[in-house]
Amino acid sequence: MFGHHDYSAYGVGWRDIAGKSDVKTLCGDNPAVLSVDIAGIERDSAENGTKIPFEKLRVLIKECHARGGITMICWHQWNPVTGGNAWDNSKAVDKILTNGGEINIKYKVWLDNVARFMTSLKDDKGELIPVIFRPLHEHTQTWSWWGSSATTDQEFIDLWRMIVTYLRDTKQVHNILYAISPQMDGNYGTATLERLQFRWPGDNYVDFIGMDCYHGTNTTAFKSNLAALTQLSFRLKKPAGVTETGIPSGRSSDYWSTQIESPVKETYCSMVVMWRNESTSHAYGPYPGDASASDFINVHSRKSLLFEKDLPAMYTMPDNITIN
């Protein structure tokens, strides 16, 4: 499935136009996966980090679901200790995990806000809309307060388990699949599988194995990481995919066929999701006028990647299928 972050909210040269997306303008169909961010929900903000009002975000998710698409949610949550944004990598997790402490209580209120948002996602029949949730993405990196330099192995594992347990068991939120997504940019050789499982919180706390791949045009690294992702997916019997990727500008005329379609179709991968389109200098997905636009249209026509109209009935159990 081909995905794109914030695709229905804005694109290159436009914002908040009902029914529009850069991908749809090019090929007549939306991405199969809508990726969004709930940064700010913890602070009772009216809008998220890319200035989409949360009321509008609910509408976009509901519309995506009604069309048969998939929604995936990340959370660039602010630092609960310093009040800085997600990129303030000052230590915080030790205080979050101190049961009964000020920051522990504060963080549970943040999770209450997340729970309230998730359970507000309902279709026209009042049924909950299932989503994939990436609460602590790119934890292999050092940029965030939940990242590798600001936490110990056990602190990260305990925080992940706290989030899942609190939302799933305490708040009874049951429309979430939890996705872990280490950043996998390089070629890690024999350490690739180990990096994919960096600070693994346990099989019972992960539903989907993702990886964020900002490898540029290093297809050797991308293919190696995809192969390892496939191996881990089959071993753990969990779906897997590329939860973020792309380059912001300067794509070659054959970028989509050589850098995305070819590596992905050679291995198992449930989705490949491009980061957002903000401007011509910050557009990870295709858009009209980009040098790679014609190539993207050709990739769409070959159907090796699935778009929204290509999807089966995603929210209806198929006949004669047994899930072990």
- DSSP states along 177-225: EEEE--B--S--GGGHHHHHTTT---GGG-SEEEEEE--TT-HHHHHHH
For residue 244, give the 3-state DSSP assignment. strand
What average pLDDT does the segment 250-275 reach? 96
Residue found under tokens 């549970």:
108
> Domain of 117: which CATH number?
3.20.20.80
- The rounded distance, in Å, linking the Cα atoms of 86 and 119 is 24
- The rounded distance, in Å, linking the Cα atoms of 147 and 103 is 18
CA-CA distances (angstroms) from residue 298 to 272, 284, 303?
Answer: 17, 18, 9
For residue 65, give the 3-state DSSP assignment. helix
**Does residue 320 sit within a domain?**
no
**Does residue 191 sit within a domain?**
yes
pLDDT exceeds cutoff 70 at 284: yes
Query: What is the per-residue pLDDT for 323?
Result: 66
**Does residue 243 sit within a domain?**
yes
Read off the pLDDT of residues 100-156 as tens digits, 9 standing for 90 and up.
999 999 999 999 999 999 999 999 999 999 999 999 999 999 999 999 999 999 999
pLDDT exceeds cutoff 90 at 317: no
**Does residue 265 sit within a domain?**
yes
Query: What is the per-residue pLDDT for 324?
Result: 64
Owning domain of residue 173:
2-310
The pTM of this model reads: 0.97
Nearest to 314 by CA among 125, 133, 69: 69
Read off the pLDDT of residues 21-80 as tens digits, 9 standing for 90 and up.
999 999 999 999 999 999 999 999 999 999 999 999 999 999 999 999 999 999 999 999
Query: What is the per-residue pLDDT for 319?
Result: 80
Q: What b/e readout covers 246-275, taking b as 16+ CB neighbours within 10 angstroms?
A: bbbeebeebbbbebbbbbbeeeebbbbbbb
Number of separate domains in the chain: 1
318 C-beta neighbours (distance < 10 Å), count = 7
Nearest to 243 by CA among 308, 178, 189, 199: 178
**Residue positions counted in the chain:** 324
With a pLDDT cut of 70, the percent of the chain lying above it is: 99
